[in-house]
Amino acid sequence: MKTTITQPCLRQLSAVMLAVSLFAFTGCAQVPATKETAAQPAALQPIALQSAPAQPPTAGDLQRVVNEAYAKFKGDTSGKNADYIPYLASVPSNLFAVVIVTADGQVFSAGDIDYAFSIQSCSKVFTMCQVMEESGEDAVVKKIGVEPTGMPFNSVVALGMHNNKAVNPLVNCGAMASVSLVKANNAAERWDKILAYQSKFAGEPLKLIDEVYKSEAATNWRNRGMAHILYNNENLFCDPLEACDVYTKQCSIGVTAKELAVMGATLANGGVNPITKERCLESKYVPRALAVMMMAGFYDESGAWAYNAGLPAKTGVGGGIFAVVPGKMAIVGFSPPVNDAGNSVRATEAIDYIVKELDLDLFGSLK
Ligand code: DON
């Protein structure tokens, strides 16, 4: 019987083959040689994942998919604004924007693109980059970690399970650890440096949304508690209340969907802002940052996101999400209602739609 193997099957098959070949070179080293295991492994043959090189999307294609994603998901009212930061509950739930910024600085947008929302956890990526830029990638790996927790972004259980270490810069504990690793003599200097660095990625001076900051600062007992546990275990590197407060300010930075997309496009462009042409991050750190985003950018939904869309991305509880297509573009969705994991429903849908329309999954074609 003749069997047809489709592209999605090949994609999954290649992942299985990779696992099998890794096992062949590592796990089998422990097994005594038998008739079967003594045979030399055959050289791996390259697997063609794409039948033909895809044509890069035109400007018309990019504006079309942005318009389509906006129109298709505008009416989806599922999810609910986060309300554990009281201010966020008051942000209009119907706001919705979709933006693409390419690695050469072209902008395609639809919807509420001028509304400045709080960047929240999307900021964690850039402070992680700041630590790499200032202290090298080892600082992040050794002092924080790069493992996904598989748990919610504010999980105390995850902290307890990992010897009171954050293990990832994109959960709250790891983000406060990143803030504490930024070299500064006092809280004001730490905040100024972080705001300036995030602004460099956006290509324009970003500002604190004071109401968001005040609202979170008045209610962030859980983050303050976790900061103290980290500090008590030498996994936070400045005064814990300073780290938590500067982290809270960092999360309260206002960005428009376009500004967030420029920040993402800077990573897509190897660390150089495509609008200002300023280098924000050494190119060798960009793949490291994207790897952490791929593994943990959607928290406990990171596996599903990788399976469905195959792009490094980061979400924020203010409703913003940015995804990076290395060398090509960043895609941003913004809409305040989030799901149980704290990820914007409409933004996830819009980005996922664009990934599939333009065939952008990094692991191969899903068609
Ligand atoms: O610390 C917090 O809980 C918020 N400032 C950030 C959380 C967040 O954005 C989670 N993301 N989806």
Q: Looking at residue 55, what is its pLDDT?
A: 81
pLDDT of residue 49: 52
Instruction: For residue 223, give the ligand 1 atom closest to its CA.
Output: 1
Q: What is the pLDDT of residue 177?
A: 98
Q: Among 319, 341, 345, which Cα is nearest to 92's?
A: 319
Q: How far is the CA of 120 from the centre of ligand 1 (A)?
A: 5
Asked if residue 317 has its Cβ within 6 Å of ligand 1, the reply is yes
Res 9: pLDDT: 41
Cα–ligand 1 centroid distance for 216 (angstroms): 10
Ligand 1 within 6 A of 79 CB?
A: no
Check pocket membership of 153 for ligand 1, CB cut-off 6 A: yes
The token pair that represents 8 in the structure block: 């999605």
Q: How far is the CA of 170 from the centre of ligand 1 (A)?
A: 9
In the DSSP assignment, the letter for residue 274 is T
Residue 319 beta carbon below 6 angstroms from any ligand 1 atom: no
Which pLDDT score is estimated for 54?
A: 67
Distances (CA, A) of 88 to 104, 118, 296, 318: 33, 9, 23, 7
| Ligand 1 atom closest to Cα of residue 154 | 3
**Phi, psi (rounded to 5 degrees) for 339:** -90, -170
CB 345 within 8 A of CB 313: no
Largest CA distance in the chain: 72
Q: What is the pLDDT along the chain (367 residues), one digit of tens a residue?
A: 333 334 444 444 443 343 333 333 333 333 333 333 344 555 666 555 555 556 889 999 999 999 999 999 999 999 999 999 999 999 999 999 999 999 999 999 999 999 999 999 999 999 999 999 999 999 999 999 999 999 999 999 999 999 999 999 999 999 999 999 999 999 999 999 999 999 999 999 999 999 999 999 999 999 999 999 999 999 999 999 999 999 999 999 999 999 999 999 999 999 999 999 999 999 999 999 999 999 999 999 999 999 999 999 999 999 999 999 999 999 999 999 999 999 999 999 999 999 999 999 999 998 8
Residue pair 347/333 in contact by the 8 Å Cβ criterion: yes
Contact at 8 Å (CB) between 275 and 104? no
Ligand 1 centroid to residue 80 C-alpha, Å:
15
Q: In this structure, which residue's CA is closest to atom 2 in ligand 1?
A: 172
The atom number, within ligand 1, closest to the CA of 248 reads 5
- Is the CB of residue 316 below 6 angstroms from any atom belonging to ligand 1? yes
Q: Output the pTM of the full model.
A: 0.87
Instruction: Give the pLDDT of residue 45.
Output: 63
pLDDT number for residue 364: 95
Q: Which of 83, 118, 172, 315 to mutate to test the pocket of ligand 1 (most atoms within 8 A of CB)?
A: 172
Q: What confidence score (pLDDT) does residue 288 get?
A: 98
What pLDDT does residue 42 have? 56
Scanning the structure block, which residue is given the tokens 């930061």?
A: 85
Q: Are 111 and 96 in contact (CB under 8 A)?
A: yes
